Amino acid sequence: MSENHPEQDNQSLDARAAWAKERLSLQLTLIQREQELEKCRADLRAERERRGGLAGASTEVDRVRERESERKRQTDRQTEKERKKERQTDKQTDRQTKRLPLDQ
């Protein structure tokens, strides 16, 4: 019996080694496939952007343009508010200036 025991240990080790080798092979294959999938997704995104996006879908370029346009609109609104305030101040100053000679 003592002679069979080392042989069984060797068979067990061989079986474990075979499973470990197969597992490693499957893990490497999975990593490769995931990398290929990510590359395909990146290619698809690039193609969509190149074509100007799909109907209803915006590209990164579109989003950047929209943000820039919105910033410009905000700046324009702020500038208009400042101009309006200046006009009001000018009107008040004009009224006060016109009253001064009359009050004297």
Count CA atoms closer than 13 A to 6's CA, side-chain side: 2
- In sequence order, the 6+-apart residues with CB closer than 8 A to the CB of 60 are 49
Across 3-28, average pLDDT: 89
**Confidence category of residue 99, pLDDT binned at 50, 70, 90:** low
Distance CA 34, CA 36 (A): 5
High-pLDDT (> 70) share of the chain, %: 82
Q: What per-residue confidence (pLDDT) applies to 82? A: 87
- Output DSSP code: residue 71: H
Number of domains in the chain: 1
> Domain containing 16: what range?
4-103
